[in-house]
Structure 1
Amino acid sequence: MTTIAGERAPDWSSEQWQVRARSWVDERLSRAGRRVTGLVEPRVRPWSLVWRVPTDDGPVWFKANNPGTVHEAALIATLAELTPERVLTPIAVDPEQGWSLLPDGGESLRDLLARDPDLAHWERALPGYAALQLTTAPRADELVALGVPDHRPEVLAGLLAELLDDREALLIGAEGGLNPDLHERLRAELPSYAERCRRLADIGIPATVQHDDLHDGNVFAGPDGYRYFDWGDASVAHPFGTLLVTLRSIRHAKKLAADDAGLARLRDAYLEAWTDRYDRRTLVEAADLAIGLGPVSRSLSWRRALDTVDESRAEYADAVPGWLEELFAASPLQPDC
């Protein structure tokens, strides 16, 4: 397993770490004129620890990322600077430690859809996310310098080649791991994959922040509009790679056929933001390419998320090879084979 910058995740269960983190939370809240009024409620995953912290002005959320997702703190601070109307403005961040403290975002899109399962909510949410990506595109190089992973089409084929050499992460031959025959098939596909990456890059749509896990649980749907959160899987990449997870999650939630017209309508609602620069046929071609290339980005993000000694990582380890297998699956907008 590749270790990010040679670091190891801190022991979030240790009293020393918890006292230090709680002191940081208390001090940052005090600066904001708030105080803690009760016990924190923890949620721990291999990639992050989250505390729900009750205060005298409503709950706030403390998040500590592992070394593989530590870039999230710096990213959300930058997004709040560039497009504050589309993300939560953090109360505080510590980029070096990967700590962030955020206000409560209110109702999620998932909660809203549970009451009113109309796809029109997604049709309204996706253009705002596209606008965030367009605003952020000129700062793509800066985001990479801040530590946001670089998954641009120009480097993605090389990242796939490197990933295929990581036999430990892919669990080759192990239960839940990548089948050795499929591993060789993926190696044989490298030239084709690289050619598709070149085609996508040649279309010329600028890279930007790409959430890579944009489903209804990661969108707030409040009276002031939609806000997008939980950026730990994000990378600097082709913007349309977003559609892989987003459309697939909608398809599964609604039990839609892959070629359902509603999914194409949502894709087009998202692509509308680029129609002043590119014709629709080119945009659809780029979307198809980005979706098809996207499983590599997902596999890489899972490998980073699981770059920890936490024993619970084994519960999720099959996600790394599992997403690579998706390279041979149908697109969310194509009929199943």
Structure 2
Amino acid sequence: MLLADVPGHDCYDATLPQLEAMVDTLVDLQQAWAGRVDEVLALGAPDWRPSTFVPLAQAVVERDAPAELRTVLDPFVDRLPQVFADLDSCGLPNTFVHGDFHPGNVRWTSEGPVVLDWGDVGVGHPLFDLPAFLDRAGPHTADLEARWLERWARACPGSDPRRAATLIAPIAALRQAIIYRRFLDGIEETERVYHRDDVPQWLRRAVALMA
């Protein structure tokens, strides 16, 4: 589907105030939709909540994890229901997940940031979107993470966004592995050679984040 051009410029070299505005835009949207996840699912978005996520994680580990990673990934996947329970106890609501939120998918306009590329949107924990954005935050990583988590702490009194961010980090990497596996299964055989390392790369990232 082709969309109308959004006037403005890309945000690969965004300033800290611009990056802060991007965080605020996404968090505002997620908080507004926190009680409306059924509407998002009704549009055909995937469900990244535990009941559907755990089987998908099991499948991608069984299919794609190198042998040296299985000794770590298999026990972690077995523990995922408890990890999700711990995540839930942190007190943040399920909402929509953009799925690929980073400065390159934001257009800066005369009215501020416009978020693009909603092809990976789904329903799940709001901090699923945190790691990919921080990966591209450069020297501003700590400031932006603090702002992001503080916004959720204010919105959800008694919650523990900091602990949630730690718990979700390896799960978010597993989610990326699942997404890339789906991508590989949907492209031509001749194109797969260019992406053959993507899934194992994210599985290795998940293992690293468990440490």
Is the alpha carbon distance of 1:277 and 1:190 closer, same or farther for their aligned partners in structure 2, counting shifts above 3 Å? same
Is the alpha carbon distance of 1:119 and 1:154 closer, same or farther for their aligned partners in structure 2, counting shifts above 3 Å? farther
CA distance in 2, matches of 1:291, 1:198: 15
Is the alpha carbon distance of 1:292 and 1:181 closer, same or farther for their aligned partners in structure 2, counting shifts above 3 Å? closer
Is 1:189 aligned to residue 68 of structure 2? Answer: no
User: CA offset at residue 224 of structure 1?
Assistant: 0.8
2:4 pairs with one of 103, 112, 118:
103
1:203 pairs with one of 68, 82, 90:
90
Is the alpha carbon distance of 1:298 and 1:309 closer, same or farther for their aligned partners in structure 2, counting shifts above 3 Å? closer
CA distance in 1, matches of 2:147, 2:187: 42
Partner of 1:144: 41
Is 1:127 aligned to residue 27 of structure 2? Answer: no
CA distance in 2, matches of 1:119, 1:129: 16
User: CA offset at residue 150 of structure 1?
Assistant: 0.9
Matches within 5 A, 1:1-337: 100-105=1-6, 106-110=8-12, 113=13, 118-165=15-62, 167=63, 170=64, 178-250=65-137, 254=138, 256=139, 262-274=140-152, 275-279=154-158, 282-310=160-188, 311-330=190-209
Q: Which consecutive residues of structure 1, in runs of 5 or more, have no partner in the other structure? A: 1-99, 171-177, 257-261, 332-336
Alpha-carbon contact 1:137-1:206 (below 8 Å) kept: yes
Is the alpha carbon distance of 1:248 and 1:101 closer, same or farther for their aligned partners in structure 2, counting shifts above 3 Å? same
CA distance in 1, matches of 2:205, 2:57: 13
Is the alpha carbon distance of 1:143 and 1:122 closer, same or farther for their aligned partners in structure 2, counting shifts above 3 Å? same
> Which of structures 1 and 2 has the bigger CA Rg?
1
Alpha-carbon contact 1:140-1:236 (below 8 Å) kept: yes
What number of residue pairs does the alignment pair up? 208
| 1:120-159 deviation line (CA, Å, top 9, x unaligned) | 3211210111111112222212222322111124543332
Is the alpha carbon distance of 1:329 and 1:313 closer, same or farther for their aligned partners in structure 2, counting shifts above 3 Å? same
Alpha-carbon contact 1:153-1:238 (below 8 Å) kept: no
Q: Higher helix proportion, which one? A: 2
Task: Give the letter for the 2:133 counterpart.
Answer: T
SS in structure 2 at match of 1:220: strand
Alpha-carbon contact 1:127-1:272 (below 8 Å) kept: no
| 1:314-337 deviation line (CA, Å, top 9, x unaligned) | 311321221111112248xxxxx8
Task: Give the letter for the 1:312 counterpart.
Answer: E
Q: Which consecutive residues of structure 2, in runs of 5 or more, have no partner in the other structure? A: none
Task: Give the letter for the 2:201 counterpart.
Answer: G
Identity %: 30
Is the alpha carbon distance of 1:154 and 1:263 closer, same or farther for their aligned partners in structure 2, counting shifts above 3 Å? farther
CA distance in 2, matches of 1:234, 1:320: 19
Task: Give the letter for the 1:182 counterpart.
Answer: L
Alpha-carbon contact 2:127-2:164 (below 8 Å) kept: yes
User: CA offset at residue 278 of structure 1?
Assistant: 2.5
Partner of 1:93: none
| 1:62-104 deviation line (CA, Å, top 9, x unaligned) | xxxxxxxxxxxxxxxxxxxxxxxxxxxxxxxxxxxxxx33111
Q: Higher strand proportion, which one? A: 1
Q: CA RMSD in A?
A: 2.2
SS in structure 1 at match of 2:35: helix
User: CA offset at residue 188 of structure 1?
Assistant: 2.3
